[in-house]
Copies of this chain bind each other. A is one copy, B any other.
Amino acid sequence: MTSVHHNTVSSSATSPLRLGIAGLGTVGTGVIRLIRQHDGLLRNRTGRQIEVVAVSARNRTRDRGIDLSGLRWHDDPTALANDPDVDVVVELMGGAEGAARTLVTEALKAGKAVVTANKALVARHAQELAHLSHEHKAPLLFEAAVAGGIPAIKMVREGVAADALTRLGGILNGTSNFILTEMAETGRAFEDVLKEAQDKGYAEADPSADIDGWDAAHKLSILTAIAFRPIVFDSLAVSGMRRITTDDIHQARKLGYAIKMLGVARRLPEDRVEAWVQPCLIPARSGLAQVNGVYNALTTEGPFSGPITISGQGAGEGPTADAVMADVIDLARGHGLPLWGRVDEQAPIPCEPVGNLASRFYLRITLTNNVNAETTLGELRTILGNEDIAVEQGHHHTSQGGATQIILLTKPVTLNDIDRILPILEEMPIVQGTPLALKVEDLP
């Protein structure tokens, strides 16, 4: 079995490399703009002319602010897969199923190289795509699918390819990081900031992919497959940030932590893999805690390479178009790779159940009115202690809404321990609403 793919994208080629682009939203038009603006630079970097010859999008007449004359237009994107003048299909439509999946599948079957920014597609159909890419010797590249303009895939698949990484993770979604940053800096409520982000176009009308962790989960699943081994996407534990309040952010800061939406994967003994996406407390002095706004960051750790962190803009027209074109340059240079940068085709495995994973936890318990906070703090320590959950630190404060809240930091326990105690706490007459538990992730 050979590790490298060959076809029209050959390493000795000096002929033009011809692209067919499916999807002319901001990224698609950004790609065309970049190619025109950096024409000489691209030729110099690769020794070849890179040109767009065909496009496909739903609306032929919409003004996209760029000249599309002279480009062959396919109403059906799948036609790009069979267009004999197209060497590389660039899929920028999005969506794990439907037209995007059909196009990518057909293009690989036709032996064409594919570049995509579609994280959902790559994460959810990993095994099928890896197999098709291998069988038809057609490279499938997806730098733009993970962390926008940051060369995160290249770093893991090539930059630290000699190391047996032990851990990777970081801030993989810019929208949720923007919301948490705004909440921390302005003290505004989650719903307020979300609405502003939606008005400004940073967040979708349906914000679930960003704030419930699915976007980050797709990216983490792809990075895990490259660094460790493919995982069953649906086995990834994902939890969102809707319940985080500015009170939580301030109480965490008082304890020396910031709250960030993290995606993390670890190599466990016996070829098992831990992977999850959730809001976590991380040390306020850590590098990741300084990554604010729409920025993304990824840290890898390995026995030889040590910790390496890369950060930058995780989305947007320019960075994403640049990442798409980095893949195209690799192809023009004749650099193909198997999907995960490995020659064996490993079947996806389920992630380690998160219930078994131990860490410290932050607990926020809101009390009903007229309860003595100091006495309750002592009682809660006893109740948790009886369930083998030791409390490292505890204090109480008055929330923005005027309620008394108990804040506890536990010693290391499993999520199963926490899940057992939460309903017990919630049923106590002195407790109001549902207590919140957040994982503490200690970082370099």
Contacts and interface: CB of A to CB of B under 8 A. Distances in A.
A67 to B, nearest CB: 19
A158 B163 contact: no
A311 interface: yes
Which of A159, A164, A307, A334 is packed against the most chain B CB atoms within 10 Å? A159
A14 B1 CA distance: 8
Contacts of A4: 11-12, 47, 333-334
Interface in A291-337: 302-313, 316, 318-319, 321-323, 325-326, 328-330, 332-335, 337
A42 B342 CA distance: 9
A123 B42 CA distance: 24
A412 interface: no
Interface string A28-59: 00100010011001111111100000000000
Contact of A306 (B1, B318, B344): B318
A159 B311 contact: no
Contact of A343 (B47, B311, B316, B328): B47
A339 to B, nearest CB: 13
Interface residues of A, number: 66
A155 interface: yes
Contacts of A355: none
A45 B337 CA distance: 9
A3 interface: yes
A290 interface: yes
Interface string A130-143: 00000000000000
Interface stretch (A146-154, A191-199, A231-239): A146-154
Nearest to A302: B322
Contact of A322 (B12, B163, B287): B163
Contact of A162 (B6, B47, B162, B328): B328
Contact of A45 (B12, B161, B302, B323): B161
A2 interface: yes
A308 B304 contact: no
A15 to B, nearest CB: 11
